[in-house]
Structure 1
């Protein structure tokens, strides 16, 4: 039977929905409720925090990059849970102009598809009764998006809360909780978002503090009662819609520098019979000699460039592997396959030299958005001509790129982008992060 679900969303980024999400996950877990977490959109970092808070794996759902079969299969992984709790991205209705595989990527797409009511986290700082206009607009914009109510955030005082509640009552908006302003309940950030969960020095205690905060100021029973079961959920088969494994035995770099690989890809590859062989470049480990493919995910190699440049066993093993078998790098992994990486201080670090790529973080510029790619050359078992969906998110600048392009890469509107990736011999790489295979 499908568990009931809810979506924690907001009018915009920066309203505090991640704090609410983590606090709810831990508070409900502490009550013995098995909560299956999800994250809307292309985000590597939040799902790791969800897992730390709930004790269960969190998966990404993306209506632009994923077709209905893959979405339903991933949501089907929540079978056996008591409740589904999905965290939105940006504002509730924010997506791209042109539909992708099954939608625009907006959080509202998930609410429509699965019937999960939205809890809107509203930052009420700087306003009182006027906050109701914001909530009313979000509640009424699309009648196909079910609306559970609001959690008020950054409330300045009891008087402020009374005024805001007065406005919400007049508008017919249910208030599920009101969170006082707390400057200390903030997770550290860096240029790609929150600091990774594995790097947080006292994460369990911090999440426990969030849970205590939510228990004190949010009606958890009302939150649970607002959840609704999905008629759509359960229709998908495990593994449906995902890209096939690019090789049988895949050596994957996994450490603080290389951690950005979507869980549904790994799970799908394992389900299809692939063998995953993890190794750590930061520990100067070489990839397994019997691997058919080495895959370097994205992450933060720019923060560890000196360590990587000095990792002789890792770099030597990578070069030896590329003599006979394929090597692929995504984003940060792509930079490591290149000739050199310039860190933000302007220091140049020699990388693997398998591609003629030099990248720099001293010349920062954000590259962000969905991507659709058609491969010009194979990436291991992914053949030339394969159509892939994914995204790009980095601050690196390409200083030089001397190899043939790996793919025709376009943004969500179909416009060509200059970051085509590279191919040289058996080495391939791209700033493009793979999410799914396109029809």
Structure 2
């Protein structure tokens, strides 16, 4: 096993406990102190890594034991080479993951801690409790023998008395409290239906991250936290990148198309692929010299009127698709369809390259891991290839327009997921975001 820099996994017993704000505060605080921080994010979240990158200046990569083969995980972990400290933010609760094991685990944050050897810095939201927080902390510390909880940060503390009651009980249980953050509404980050608003849209983002760093530095013992970090290990020495689907790839990138996993782009570029960007919102089409046009997910439902009226974008994408592949993910898939009904019930004409009709006015959450087998060759791979991804959207499929499916997909429980993809001529789309090729 190859060594990794000292690191910590920032986790919590549940979602909404404040992991992201604490993680961002720590990343910026240590970076300001001259420590080179490498961030990671457990799970398929595509927004938090962008905030990490802004907080400490290094690209944050997703780690996912359900969706990623061990070899890919190893390749991504080596991105920490040269860093002085690794901070890996968890997802959901520390032990939460898929119903069944995937490629190298269930997708839980605990998997990352166990496989790398990095100890857990547990963020406990103690609002509404005091001494009982010790029972929660102790349960997290003892549930898996291969996961070490090295320290506790109390979050949303109401008063000095509240801090004393919770911290004394936790310390009596044999665990260390290394921070106590007072409840502060300024610590919150703006959200919308898919999670945090992307950092590109946040006004005064640097000021907000500096505020988080100020609070964390003042109310947590950074010296003790730094001493909790221990050197990690890469589970396997093999290397496995995500192969590029073409040599020259034109990717839509603006406020309507923002969701692309960093490890996918970096793997494509490391393999020699050339990436060009275009903005459908600015009425731009893909580079005519590109071999593939790729429309990522994002928020087309918020910009549907503009997208519908941008004729140059429509015409250029239609010309491109006559002899070259075009692929869309989630929001990008919706734009490749015939029409999109927005939250107000207004239908907007999309590019019409697929028969898909989608409706955002009657929202229904679609969320979870996807394991897929390709029925036909596409930018995602050859016929018969197996891939993994993650679906997260609120739009409903009204009609596929008779287009055949691109793939068969099951969720993390092995249940069939319908209406997830379609294809027509050189155009294809899926409602999930591609993570890895697995076979």
Equivalent in the alignment of 1:327: 326
Question: Residue 319 of structure 1 aligns to a residue in which SS?
Answer: helix
Q: Structure 2 CA distance, aligned partners of 1:419 and 1:400? A: 9
Unaligned runs of 5+ in 2: none
Q: Structure 2 CA distance, aligned partners of 1:227 and 1:438? A: 32
Q: Structure 2 CA distance, aligned partners of 1:144 and 1:381? A: 36
Once the two structures are superposed, the pairs formed by residues 165-204 of structure 1 within 5 Å of their partners are 165-204=167-206
1:170-189 deviation per Cα after TM superposition (whole angstroms, max 9, x unaligned): 11110010001111211010
Aligned residue pairs total: 436
**Correspondence 1:151 to 2:150:** no
Once the two structures are superposed, the pairs formed by residues 88-167 of structure 1 within 5 Å of their partners are 88-167=90-169
Equivalent in the alignment of 1:72: 74
Q: Structure 2 CA distance, aligned partners of 1:380 and 1:438? A: 15
1:33-90 deviation per Cα after TM superposition (whole angstroms, max 9, x unaligned): 0000000000110001001111111000000000111101101011000000000000
TM-score, length-scaled by structure 1: 0.98
Q: Structure 1 CA distance, aligned partners of 2:233 and 2:57? A: 26
Equivalent in the alignment of 2:433: 433
Q: Structure 2 CA distance, aligned partners of 1:380 and 1:126? A: 50
Unaligned runs of 5+ in 1: none
Indicate the larger mover: 241-250 or 264-273: 241-250
Question: Residue 316 of structure 1 aligns to a residue in which SS?
Answer: helix
Q: Structure 1 CA distance, aligned partners of 2:257 and 2:233? A: 38
Q: 1:379: how far off? A: 1.2
Residues 132 and 167 in structure 1, CA contact (< 8 A), matched pair in contact too: yes
Q: After TM superposition, where is structure 1 displaced by more than 4 Å over at least 4 residues in a row?
A: none
Question: Residue 70 of structure 1 aligns to a residue in which SS?
Answer: helix
Residues 8 and 120 in structure 2, CA contact (< 8 A), matched pair in contact too: yes
Equivalent in the alignment of 2:84: 82
Residues 20 and 214 in structure 1, CA contact (< 8 A), matched pair in contact too: yes
**Correspondence 1:220 to 2:222:** yes
Q: 1:236: how far off? A: 4.0
Once the two structures are superposed, the pairs formed by residues 382-393 of structure 1 within 5 Å of their partners are 382-393=381-392
Residues 241 and 437 in structure 1, CA contact (< 8 A), matched pair in contact too: no
Equivalent in the alignment of 2:423: 423
**Correspondence 1:27 to 2:23:** no
Provide the aligned C-alpha RMSD in A: 1.1
Equivalent in the alignment of 2:411: 411
Question: Residue 387 of structure 2 aligns to a residue in which SS?
Answer: strand
Q: 1:378: how far off? A: 1.4
Q: 1:380: how far off? A: 3.4
Indicate the larger mover: 35-44 or 401-410: 401-410
Once the two structures are superposed, the pairs formed by residues 330-369 of structure 1 within 5 Å of their partners are 330-369=329-368
**Correspondence 1:272 to 2:271:** yes
Q: 1:381: how far off? A: 6.9
Residues 409 and 419 in structure 1, CA contact (< 8 A), matched pair in contact too: no
**Correspondence 1:243 to 2:242:** yes
Residues 241 and 436 in structure 1, CA contact (< 8 A), matched pair in contact too: no
Q: Structure 1 CA distance, aligned partners of 2:104 and 2:336? A: 34
Q: 1:243: how far off? A: 3.0
Once the two structures are superposed, the pairs formed by residues 253-272 of structure 1 within 5 Å of their partners are 253-272=252-271
Q: Structure 2 CA distance, aligned partners of 1:201 and 1:131? A: 35
1:386-417 deviation per Cα after TM superposition (whole angstroms, max 9, x unaligned): 11001110000011112111111111122111
Question: Residue 282 of structure 1 aligns to a residue in which SS?
Answer: helix
TM-score, length-scaled by structure 2: 0.98
